[in-house]
Structure 1
Amino acid sequence: METVIILVFAFGYLAITLEHSIKIDKLIPALVMMAISWALISLGIDSFPQWFDSAKHSLLENFGALGHEDKMHLMEETLLHHLGKTAEILVFLLGAMTIVEIIDYFDGFSTIKRAVNFNSRRKLLWLFSILAFILSAIIDNLTATIVLISILQKIVKERDIRIWYAGLIIIAANAGGAWSPIGDVTTTMLWIGNKVSTGNLFLYLFIPSVLCMVVPTVIASFLPQFKGELELQSDGDKPKNKFSSTMLFLGLGAIVFVPFFKVITHLPPYVGMMLSLGVVAVFAEIYSNSKFSITSIDNEESAAHASHSPVHHSLSKIELPSILFFLGILMAVAALESLGILFGFANSLQDTMPMVGTELDGTAVSDLVVILLGVGSAIIDNVPLVAASLGMFSEPLDNPLWHFIAYSAGTGGSMLIIGSAAGVVAMGMEKIDFFWYLKKISWLALVGFLAGAGAFVIMRAIL
């Protein structure tokens, strides 16, 4: 039965990558493989030899000795656990996307468009790469990608050029998220699990992460796609709405507030995002009402907006197919994780790879295994792979191994577009083809990943 489930995942994965060839939207195979995988688990629950406890990040002891009813109950609890964790991400994503759309409703991005007073493709590349790197460390790589691609869509007219920028944003956002405890979900896992501290995470990973972003950006700046001038979208010199700048800074400030809310309250990020959305929505409703006078409406766009609230309008513009695709792919990976397949995959790497690492606390740790975990995170979700590493290694807090795992899992996903949350969101927002990304962007991500990994090995020897 395990083999059948793996085949279902493989065929579903293949259908996602061949979306443009088979003319079937990627959310359909994602949802189908998710549903079939969990159905097969339910039907064959008694035939599985092991079960992965996601809450404890370890295999469940004596799973085979449990009765059928107990196994079914455990499966339902596990399914609910994964649905809850996935829902946290989706609700967070919905909140961030709604805030971005509210900003757009008030023409807030015109402020940034006016700030971009140059047409150089190379300068624009560096601007977005640096912004992605910095923002992802503050508001996490997923949200940073959403915000920057939304801004990109308002600035760059040609989609063929825009997807190149989106590809470099993915690399930069994942690199920026690796050195911050709140920048990437896997780094957050290691931070919460008392494997890394904020100070040492910055010490070990900042320079490798910078190289992971800078090297691909330097190479890309010499490619034909980033040479010459770019035709930017222009809506005139003045914003269409007098509250545009206010809503831009309010919306981005509300998103930046989320990690601080998490640190203060220890609540999941989606709670802070809902609070931020509520605050932004209050101001949006107030400003929307003050836009209109009793006798006249300023312009045609205002007339179109007059019949409904800005919040309802923004919610109607959210990319729900992207949300459903995210649901399908995450829950399908959760099925493989629950059966211990991903945990076994990570352990098999440790057992079969040659030990080429250095001696740390008397235990030979293979650098090659950690690098392969990074490559594996591009193919399979990085969360279960990091969860497996938590069970594989027993090194203490701030051992360099944990920092290398944080870097490798955080940045390795850039090598495939569905290898990271940032890539999945970009794929949905810009309808980027899997094979286009594989041909054009993956090699840049690989070069950056290896440059950062090399820098980490050098820094580990020095520090």
Structure 2
Amino acid sequence: MEAIIIIIFVLGYLAIALEHNLKIDKLIPALAMMSILWAIIAVSHLDVFEIDTVSKSLKPEHLEGILLHHLGKTAEILVFLLGAMTIVEIIDYFDGFSTIKSYVKTKKKARLLWLFTTLAFILSAIIDNLTATIVLITILQKIVKEKEVRLWYAGLIVIAANAGGAWSPIGDVTTTMLWIANKVTANSLIEHVLLPSIFCYAVPTFIASRLSIFKGSLDIEIEDNEKPKSKFSATMFYLGLGGILFVPIFKTFTHLPPYVGMMLSLAIIGVFAEYFSKSKFSLSSSNTTDNDGSHHSPIHKSLSKIEMPSILFFLGILMSVAALESLGMLFNFAGVLEESVPFLGTEHASTHISDLVVLLLGAGSAVIDNVPLVAASIGMFSIPIDEPAWHFIAYSAGTGGSMLIIGSAAGVVAMGMEKIDFVWYLKKIGWLALIGFLSGFAVFVLLRDFLLNAA
């Protein structure tokens, strides 16, 4: 029966990886895989377990209890993401991202490259790499008219956005998963991954800025007189970013799950949004009225624009991996891995072989979605919180996807917005992403060993 379960998981995984070829949204195989796996467990009366992190052994559990346990852990991530997505949509409702245009003060191609990649690096650490990519490419399309040049900019933005999301607990779904699962703390993650992530985006940007495509100036008109749609755009932009940044602080002081802080931030930002839009609160209708007539509340409007397919995909894939974890498969695989190569979690610096394991994980994230890879890692390794291996996994899974255009959410959305060809990206941008990934990888190893020796 376990063989059948593995086959179903592999087939579902392939369907997710080949969604563009099959022309089927990846949420469909993810949800189907989740349902079938748990149905087989229930009908076949298979034994389910929970990992005892103290004794590092499997503890038998009832099916309903273990299912509720994993659903609760998954719900923490999904509610957190719903809150973050809503705040981002509220910022967009007030045209807050137009504030970024004020930073564009140069026509030099190389300077503009550094500006956009740096903004991508910073923004992705706050509003996640996917949203940062969408916002910056939208602005890019209004500034850079030459298609070929714009593709290069878009490719470097993808690299920078993925690098920026890797060092922040709120910058990428995978780092958020590790943070919520209590595998990393915000301070330690930043301490270990920030510098490698800077190298990961800065080295490719530096090399690209020396290429002929970024020589000279752009023939553009910087529109200083263009006014945002709302007079509160800048206020909501900074308020929204501040609200998201408040979440790690809230968790540090209260020790409550991150989604609680995110809901508080959403509530506070929602108050300002309703006030600025001169709307009246309504609990019975999504329509509200003001002095000028009827219109939608910014909260309801923002909630209607949430990407529910992404939320359902995360539900499907995380609960599918949870099924394998409940059967003890991931735990047993970790035991095999521990015997065949040095274990990822040791009291000293990781060896070359185990570093290679994490390196392969990063390379794999360019082909396979990094969410299930990290979810599987969480289920496999019972190593302490803030073990360097967790930070290494966060970096590799977050940045490795940049090597292929389909290897990350940021790359996929850039591919759709600019119609970037897979082969073009591989030839023009892939090698830059590889250099950046390996540069950050080397910096991480040096920094990790230095910190461990200093301790």
| Shared fold, TM over 0.5 | yes
Distance 1:35 1:360 in 2: 37
1:156 matched to 2:140? The reply is yes
1:130 matched to 2:115? The reply is no
Distance 1:286 1:7 in 2: 54
Structure 2 unaligned blocks of 5 or more: 142-146, 281-289
User: 1:376 corresponds to which letter in structure 2?
Assistant: L
Q: Are the structure 2 counterparts of residues 122 and 10 from structure 1 closer, same or farther at C-alpha, using a change threshold of 3 Å?
A: farther
Helix, strand or coil at the partner of 2:295: coil
Q: Which residue of 2 aligns with 1:296?
A: none
Instruction: Report if aligned partners of 2:204, 2:435 keep a CA contact under 8 Å in 1.
Output: yes
Q: Which residue of 1 aligns with 2:58?
A: 60
1:266-305 to 2 correspondence within 5 Å?
266-289=255-278
1:173 matched to 2:172? The reply is no
Q: Which residue of 2 aligns with 1:368?
A: 353
Superposition RMSD in Å = 4.4
Distance 2:219 2:437 in 1: 29
Instruction: Report if aligned partners of 2:90, 2:302 keep a CA contact under 8 Å in 1.
Output: yes
- Alignment equivalent of 1:254, drawn from 243, 254, 267: 243
Q: Which residue of 2 aligns with 1:381?
A: 373
Instruction: Report if aligned partners of 1:171, 1:445 keep a CA contact under 8 Å in 2.
Output: no
Instruction: Report if aligned partners of 1:102, 1:310 keep a CA contact under 8 Å in 2.
Output: yes
User: Which one is further off, 342-351 or 259-268?
Assistant: 342-351
Helix, strand or coil at the partner of 2:256: coil
Q: Are the structure 2 counterparts of residues 100 and 188 from structure 1 closer, same or farther at C-alpha, using a change threshold of 3 Å?
A: closer
Distance 1:150 1:6 in 2: 36
User: Which one is further off, 1-10 or 233-242?
Assistant: 233-242
Q: Which residue of 2 aligns with 1:390?
A: 382
Instruction: Report if aligned partners of 1:12, 1:30 keep a CA contact under 8 Å in 2.
Output: yes
Distance 1:265 1:415 in 2: 34
Helix, strand or coil at the partner of 1:53: strand
Distance 2:352 2:291 in 1: 61
1:98-117 to 2 correspondence within 5 Å?
98-117=86-105
Q: How many residues align?
A: 421
Structure 1 unaligned blocks of 5 or more: 64-70, 292-301
User: 2:129 corresponds to which letter in structure 1?
Assistant: T
1:27-66 to 2 correspondence within 5 Å?
27-46=27-46, 51-53=49-51, 58-61=56-59, 63=60
Q: Which residue of 1 aligns with 2:283?
A: none
Instruction: Report if aligned partners of 2:94, 2:230 keep a CA contact under 8 Å in 1.
Output: yes
Distance 1:203 1:266 in 2: 20
Q: Are the structure 2 counterparts of residues 459 and 312 from structure 1 closer, same or farther at C-alpha, using a change threshold of 3 Å?
A: closer
User: Which one is further off, 305-314 or 265-274?
Assistant: 305-314
For each residue in 1:354-408, what CA deviation from the matched residue of structure 2 results, as whole angstroms up to 9, or x when unmatched? Answer: x599x976x89533224313533635422442453334xx8xx98xxx3244224
Distance 1:196 1:108 in 2: 30
User: 1:385 corresponds to which letter in structure 2?
Assistant: S
Q: Are the structure 2 counterparts of residues 246 and 347 from structure 1 closer, same or farther at C-alpha, using a change threshold of 3 Å?
A: same
Distance 1:57 1:428 in 2: 43
Q: TM-score, normalised by structure 1?
A: 0.74
Structure 1 residue 196: deviation in Å? 7.9
Structure 1 residue 184: deviation in Å? 2.6
Structure 1 residue 88: deviation in Å? 1.5
Q: Are the structure 2 counterparts of residues 91 and 386 from structure 1 closer, same or farther at C-alpha, using a change threshold of 3 Å?
A: closer
Structure 1 residue 443: deviation in Å? 5.4
Structure 1 residue 10: deviation in Å? 1.5
Structure 1 residue 43: deviation in Å? 2.3
Distance 1:230 1:7 in 2: 55
Q: Which residue of 2 aligns with 1:337?
A: 325
For each residue in 1:70-91, what CA deviation from the matched residue of structure 2 results, as whole angstroms up to 9, or x when unmatched? Answer: x5xx222222222222222221
Distance 1:275 1:118 in 2: 39
Q: Which residue of 2 aligns with 1:313?
A: 301
Distance 2:329 2:416 in 1: 30
Q: Are the structure 2 counterparts of residues 178 and 261 from structure 1 closer, same or farther at C-alpha, using a change threshold of 3 Å?
A: closer
Structure 1 residue 223: deviation in Å? 6.7
For each residue in 1:324-375, what CA deviation from the matched residue of structure 2 results, as whole angstroms up to 9, or x when unmatched? Answer: 122212222222222222233333222223x599x976x8953322431353
Q: Which residue of 2 aligns with 1:144?
A: 128
Q: TM-score, normalised by structure 2?
A: 0.76
Q: Are the structure 2 counterparts of residues 423 and 268 from structure 1 closer, same or farther at C-alpha, using a change threshold of 3 Å?
A: farther
Instruction: Report if aligned partners of 2:98, 2:228 keep a CA contact under 8 Å in 1.
Output: yes
- Alignment equivalent of 2:396, drawn from 411, 426, 429: 411
Q: Which residue of 2 aligns with 1:244?
A: 233
